Amino acid sequence: MGELDLHLTKIYRSLQHYIQQYLLVHKKVSINGWGTLHIHTAPASVDFLNKCIHAPATHLVYNESADGDTGFVHWLAQELNISISEASESLGHFVSVFKKNIAANKIVWNGWGSFEAVDHSISFTPDTGLKAQSVVANRVIRKGAEHNIRVGEDERTNTQMEEFLHGSQSTQKYPWWIGGLLLFVFGIILAALFAYKHNIQWKKQSNYHLLHPQEPPALYKIQ
């Protein structure tokens, strides 16, 4: 390997580090002649069927076409304290070494994934070694604790549903006949008060007096 090849290889390895560093911060890097690599993050999801929560998933997505973004070139020039034209030239060397290496062998970026030439195109397989595992999520319902239940289009609490289906606990503790018995006793008391009050009024309004029988006159007298 000549000095030029060693120099290009050094540039290639150095730029690989800068590409990864830029990608972690900006989530996307685009290089003319090489393609675009961006980080796609899917939020955590709940799997109700299997009762587990899938952790947020991060995937690297590669596309052979560049989108014309010059953000990485300007950032690289600032990081290396060089001009933009020098940074563009360094990226040109990186692309040349990359295409030369991938034509012969698979290119592996440890912890990121691997590039491979397939049918005159570049295929990228992301590394799944850092994928987070799913977490088992069994729902805990404590006895007596109130929680929400989805009923059709509405939302009800477990207490409301128990009262609707089985009747409330208060109804079971106090049977219906107790209320009827109380009403019956109360009616008797009212009737007694009503009779007592009107009996006194009848005595005052009528010619009420006691009759004392008198001795009848003697019809005959014994001599």
Across the 223 residues of the chain, what is the mean pLDDT of every consecutive 10-residue run?
A: 56 84 90 88 77 77 84 91 90 89 88 87 78 56 64 73 63 64 83 72 55 58 50
Q: Is residue 214 part of a domain?
A: no
CA distance 76 to 94: 13
Looking at the domain assignment, is residue 67 inside a domain?
yes
Q: Please indicate, yes or no, whether residues 130 and 190 belong to a single structural domain of this protein.
A: no
Predicted structure pTM score: 0.52
State the pLDDT at residue 73.
92
Give SS3 for 155. Answer: strand
Residue 81 lies in a domain: yes
Same domain, 114 and 183: no
Distance CA 67, CA 73 (A): 13
Instruction: Tell whether 37 is covered by a domain.
Output: yes
Task: Looking at the structure, tell me whether residues 42 and 130 fall in a common domain.
Answer: yes
216 inside domain: no
Same domain, 11 and 108: yes
Is there a domain that residue 60 lies in?
A: yes
| Nearest alpha carbon to residue 39 among 54, 20, 65, 55 | 20
Domain-located, residue 161:
no
Range of the domain at 194: 176-202
CA-to-CA distance for 69 and 32, rounded, in angstroms? 9
How many Cα atoms are found within 13 Å in the side-chain-facing hemisphere of 83?
3
Same domain for 118 and 27, yes or no, is yes
- Rounded Cα distance between 23 and 38, Å, is 7
Confirm whether 145 is domain-assigned. Answer: no
Residues 120 and 19 in one domain: yes
Number of domains in the chain: 2
pLDDT at res. 4: 45
Q: Determine the Cα–Cα distance for residues 18 and 10; give it in Å rounded to an integer.
A: 13
Residue recorded with tokens 């691997």: 114
Cα–Cα distance list, 201 to 6, 192, 209, 210 (Å)? 130, 15, 14, 17
- Regarding whether 129 and 33 lie in a shared domain, the answer is yes
